[in-house]
A and B are shown apart, each in its own frame.
Chain A
Amino acid sequence: AQSVTQLGSHVSVSEGALVLLRCNYSSSVPPYLFWYVQYPNQGLQLLLKYTSAATLVKGINGFEAEFKKSETSFHLTKPSAHMSDAAEYFCAVSDLRAQKLVFGQGTRLTINP
């Protein structure tokens, strides 16, 4: 069965610093992987997705993620953090057989001025 582990429930960085949110997955088949962002009191918004094309995926708001099969990872990065990036971030893997997404537990990103 597919599963996702997000390392670090809370990440804090300074404005302008590199953002790195870690995600490792477990999947018995080539996975589809996603990063979603949830701003306070809002629903989840898709940041980016990996669907077996390019391993480096670019998303909205300057975020990108790299699929590394050997490490079973799909870490999310942004070169320079902005105050507006403060939110909850979720990594997810697609369970094709069950027709559902399996989410990680989320990482809260805090940006310090």
Chain B
Amino acid sequence: DTAVSQTPKYLVTQMGNDKSIKCEQNLGHDTMYWYKQDSKKFLKIMFSYNNKELIINETVPNRFSPKSPDKAHLNLHINSLELGDSAVYFCASMMRGSPHEQYFGPGTRLTVT
């Protein structure tokens, strides 16, 4: 069983479109994250949810909106996609209060044309 899964794995879309990425974890963790990895492999945290509550919201355009329907799921919706949104987006999860060992999903490669 996959611990942290993401769908889709690849997403190609045009500028101006709206798209969503889904993440699910079956580890029983209570905290989930979204990261953006740019072409230089730099990892930037975007959001974090703990038990469906938003706890981290880094400087991210309002076009990005996370949603956590329950503590096992964290989705990312992106409105009005721009060329600069092209990147690999990773979901991760951990149990709050642990030494912050995070488990990562396989990533979603978003290409905006």
Query: Chain A: residues with CB nearer than 8 A to chain B?
Result: 32, 34, 36, 38, 41-46, 49, 51, 88, 90, 94, 96, 98-101, 103, 105-106, 108
Contacts and interface: CB of A to CB of B under 8 A. Distances in A.
Contacts of A105: 40-42
A42 B56 contact: no
Nearest to A36: B104
Interface stretch (B14-22, B43-51, B65-73, B78-86): B43-51
| Chain A facing B: main interface SS | strand
Chain B's interface size range is 20 to 34
A98 B96 CA distance: 11
Nearest to B109: A41
B64 interface: no
Given A42-B106, A42-B107, A43-B107, A99 B41 contact: no
Given A98-B56, A99-B31, A43 B104 contact: yes
Given A99-B55, A106-B41, A34 B101 contact: yes
